[in-house]
Structures are given as structure tokens and as C-alpha cells.
Amino acid sequence: MGIERRRIVIVLFEGIDLLDVTGPPEVFSLARRESPDAAGYDVVLAAETLDPVRTGAGVRVLPDVTFTSMARRSIDTLVVPGAVEVDGDGRVHPLIDPAVVARVRQLARRTRRITSVCVGAHILAAAGLLDGKRATTHWSTAQQLAADHPEIDVDADPIFIRDGDVWTGAGISSCLDLSLALIADDLGEDVALRVARQLVMYLKRPSGQSQFSVPLEQVATTRRIEDLRHFILRNIGARLTVADLAAAAHISDRQLTRIFKNELGTTPYAYVESVRVETARQRLESTDDTLDRVATTCGLGSVDTLVRAFRRRLDVTPTEYRRRFRTVPDSGAHGIPDPD
């Protein structure tokens, strides 16, 4: 008898985000190719009827099964995507259909693992499946989720969060990261990394990586600023004063400060510190470096400076951050305590 396959059910409804529907099946299908001897996945699309469902992109998708037929079958993983509407003022609002909420609540009773992608978290919340849990959603609706459901610990920063058997993802593309994390949970990190390579993705972004990664969040509008940003990243462990940056750009200190204010809306010092903190975050998540080495490598100089920068920008200490988002086995080598 063959290995029993895991049933992944993706919930369909009108206006749903297309990538939320098509992304996970692609990831799960590659897991079978990369690990043919392991239990694979059967991905099915479920809707109220078998009629085509129109996505937010205008593409119609055909369901495989109805909600009614799935209500009597066991489900390994339930994936709840999201849908949004934009009002006249350009504000984004999640679509929450009470009928879909009721179906999700019903299917959840027969499900081992429940997930949402993007604003699908609002549907899980309305179904009572996030009560007392920590969860994320797309940054544009996180404030609404927290206001509508004070019983949920909403964290708008990570790309996905796991709380027990409930997983929530952030932006639309995070469905790929979330699917990789589910594969790692089922089949191991090595399989997830091989799948990521096939997808030509950044190798498995950790759950705690911010939706607002510093190297990506600021969009430069001039070549000079773009060159300066690359210079900062290449020399992050070195001294980077205003004079150093101005010399690298062959401009005056005053002109450098004016360019940063106009182009990035910040000061050179604040921008450099934000990049140092982002680099430190990544090292705390993915390496076993001591806090002293992290501080030195990222140009923050000392553990005291590292701690102050983290508290100022993230409202957490480096040790707390590592404990929360660490993605490598803990060998105990990082044991320099945070200063009081």
C-alpha cells in the first residue's frame, strides 16, 4: 500500500486573490518531485458550487469539490486566501462573506492544520479560529484586524506566523514562503530548500523576516542614491559617517544630507542605523554568532549599541528577537546577555 498523501484544501470564493490560489499548488507539487519517497500532497480547490469562481484578477478558476462534499472528509491543511475591495478614498478593505466564514468554521473541525494568506486572516478571525493567538496579515489591513478582534495578538511585521496548528501569512506573495514552511514542517528543511531553489526564490525566508525589509522598502529615484545604498550594504561593518558617505558620492556633506531627506525622507545616520539593524536581524535569525560578533559585523560596535538600536527600532532586545525568530539549532554559543 502506498504512502498516504496529505490533502490540502484551498477555499475559493468570488474576488479571491489569484496568486493565493495558484501559488501553493505549485510549491506542493515541487515537493513531490524533490522527495518522491515521502508522503506527497493532493491539492483540491473547494467552493460552494462547482461553477467557475472569478478571482480579483478577473481570471476564472474551476473548483474541484464543493464545501458540502468536503465537510465529511478529513483535511490535512486548510488554506484560506483573501480578497479585498478598494473604496473611493483608495482604502483597502478585506472581503468577509458570512457564508464563507461559516464554511471555513465547519471545515476547520475536520482539519489538522489551518492557514491563511494575506487578508484571509480576517476570515479566520471572523470564524473565531484566531482567538487568543498571535497572527499576521497584510500590513494594509493589520490595524483593522486588531481593532475588530482585540482578542487576537496582531503582529503586522513578520511574513508569516505559526501559533500551534494555525499559520497566518502576510502579503500575497507570502503564500510561497508559507507553503515552503509547511513543507519544512512536514518533510524537513532540506526538502524545503530544494523546492525553494526550483522556484528560484530567496532560500526560505524565515517567518520573522519583516514585510518591510530595509534593502527593499526604500525606493531610490536617482542613480546616486542607489549607488550610495549599495555602498552602505557593502561596507556595513565599517565606519559610515556623513563625511564618509559624502566622500564616496563625491558631494559635500550638506548636499548628501539634503539628498537623503528629499529621496528617502530620513537622515544619513538614521538610514545607516536602519540597515545595520536589518543586517543584525538576519544574522540573529540565521547564524550562531555571538551578540558581540553580530554588533561588530553590522557596524554597531558594541553589544550596548546593538541593544539600544534594537529597542529604539523594534521595541525588543536582540536576545528576545533571536529567541523568537531563530531558524538555526541553538548551540548556546550566543550567550552574551543583554545589558539592563
pLDDT digits (tens, 9 = 90+) for 165-182: 999 988 777 788 889 889
**pLDDT range class, residue 197, cuts 50, 70, 90:** confident
Distance, in Å, from the CA atom of 179 to the CA atom of 115, rounded to the nearest integer, reads 10
Together in a domain, 112 and 21: yes
Q: Convert 8-40 into a string of H (helix), E (strand) and C (coil).
A: EEEECCCCCCHHHHHHHHHHHHHHHHHCCCCCC
H-helix segments, 10-118: 18-34, 67-70, 98-108
C-beta of residue 137 within 8 angstroms of C-beta of residue 145: yes
Whether residue 331 lies inside any domain: the answer is no
Q: 335 burial class (0-12, 13-18, 19+ CB within 10 angstroms)?
A: exposed
pLDDT for the residue numbered 210: 53
pLDDT in tens, 201-233: 544 454 555 554 444 444 444 667 778 888 998
Together in a domain, 265 and 314: yes
Whether residue 81 lies inside any domain: the answer is yes
Domain limit, last residue, from 148, 166, 198: 198
Together in a domain, 112 and 222: no
Q: Give this prediction's pTM.
A: 0.64
Together in a domain, 108 and 250: no
Together in a domain, 60 and 27: yes
For residue 295, what is the domain's CATH number?
A: 1.10.10.60
For residue 120, what is the domain's CATH number?
A: 3.40.50.880
Together in a domain, 90 and 190: yes
Together in a domain, 63 and 136: yes
Together in a domain, 184 and 308: no
Whether residue 332 lies inside any domain: the answer is no
Together in a domain, 237 and 192: no
Domain extent for 257:
214-325
Whether residue 339 lies inside any domain: the answer is no
Together in a domain, 92 and 183: yes
Distance, in Å, from the CA atom of 280 to the CA atom of 145, rounded to the nearest integer, reads 30
Q: Which residues of 83-105 are buried (b: 16+ CB within 10 A; e: fewer)?
A: bbeeeeeeeeebbbbeebbebbe
Distance, in Å, from the CA atom of 234 to the CA atom of 245, rounded to the nearest integer, reads 12
Number of domains in the chain: 2
Domain limit, last residue, from 144, 172, 198: 198
Distance, in Å, from the CA atom of 313 to the CA atom of 137, rounded to the nearest integer, reads 21
Whether residue 203 lies inside any domain: the answer is no
pLDDT for the residue numbered 166: 96
Mean pLDDT, to the nearest integer, of 298-315?
A: 91
Least confident window among 65-69, 188-192, 237-241: 188-192
Number of Cβ atoms within 10 Å of the Cβ of 284: 26
Q: 202 burial class (0-12, 13-18, 19+ CB within 10 angstroms)?
A: exposed
pLDDT for the residue numbered 3: 58
In sequence order, the β-bridge partners of residue 114 are 78, 166
Whether residue 333 lies inside any domain: the answer is no
Whether residue 206 lies inside any domain: the answer is no
Mean pLDDT, to the nearest integer, of 83-87?
A: 85
Together in a domain, 184 and 225: no
pLDDT for the residue numbered 202: 45
Whether residue 22 lies inside any domain: the answer is yes
pLDDT in tens, 284-296: 888 889 999 999 9
pLDDT in tens, 129-150: 999 999 999 888 988 999 999 9
